């Protein structure tokens, strides 16, 4: 059965279809999470994917329209998990020398390096971007939090890679300006 068809059934409240969508996309989600960790323990990638599933499943029927929407929601869920983790670590230890985060570094890698302040600063800037341009913020979530490559985002969203690259440059410039305060 095709993913789009399963998503339609899941949206209608079919719990089995929702679980099958996750099972079919599990390897891809795990690959994305593992790319976020870049060499960290494999169990962490598995944990992130499972937390993402629980976060998505907690709200009842799967409210997605297609595969691109599913990955956008998964990216947002991963973002929230990373932010919660960074906040918890930051609350546990206040202070320390902050290092600047680049948008080429993945969110989980920053958090794993105990640079939660960078993740929180990015989250604040991303919230400001979402207020101005929600599609740009979604692009950042898919790229930075879900670890998707620009070509993958192009395929998922159905937009040209050239447009995605242009938007990525705009989003990076905005976020860096917000974080650095230049």
pTM for this predicted structure:
0.57
Q: Of 55, 52, 133, 124, which Cα lies nearest the Cα of 86? A: 124
pLDDT above 70: residue 80: yes
| CA max distance for the chain | 52
Q: Please tell me the predicted confidence (pLDDT) of residue 182.
A: 46
Higher pLDDT, 160 or 73: 160
């Amino acid at each position: 059965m095709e993913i789009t068809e399963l998503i339609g059934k899941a949206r209608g409240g079919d719990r089995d279809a929702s679980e099958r969508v996750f099972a079919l996309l599990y390897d891809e989600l795990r690959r994305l999470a593992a790319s976020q960790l870049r060499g960290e323990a494999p169990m962490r990638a598995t944990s992130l994917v499972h937390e993402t599933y629980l976060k998505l499943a907690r709200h009842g029927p799967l409210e997605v329209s297609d595969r691109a929407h599913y990955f956008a929601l998964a990216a947002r869920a991963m973002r929230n998990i990373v932010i919660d983790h960074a906040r918890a670590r930051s609350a546990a230890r206040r202070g320390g020398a902050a290092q600047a985060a680049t948008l080429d570094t993945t969110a989980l890698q920053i958090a794993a390096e105990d640079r939660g302040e960078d993740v929180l600063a990015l989250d604040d800037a991303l919230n400001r971007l979402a207020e101005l341009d929600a599609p740009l913020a979604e692009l950042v979530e898919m790229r930075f939090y879900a670890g998707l490559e620009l070509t993958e985002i192009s395929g998922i969203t159905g937009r040209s890679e050239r447009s995605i690259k242009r938007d990525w440059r705009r989003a990076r410039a905005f976020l860096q300006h917000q974080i650095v305060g230049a």
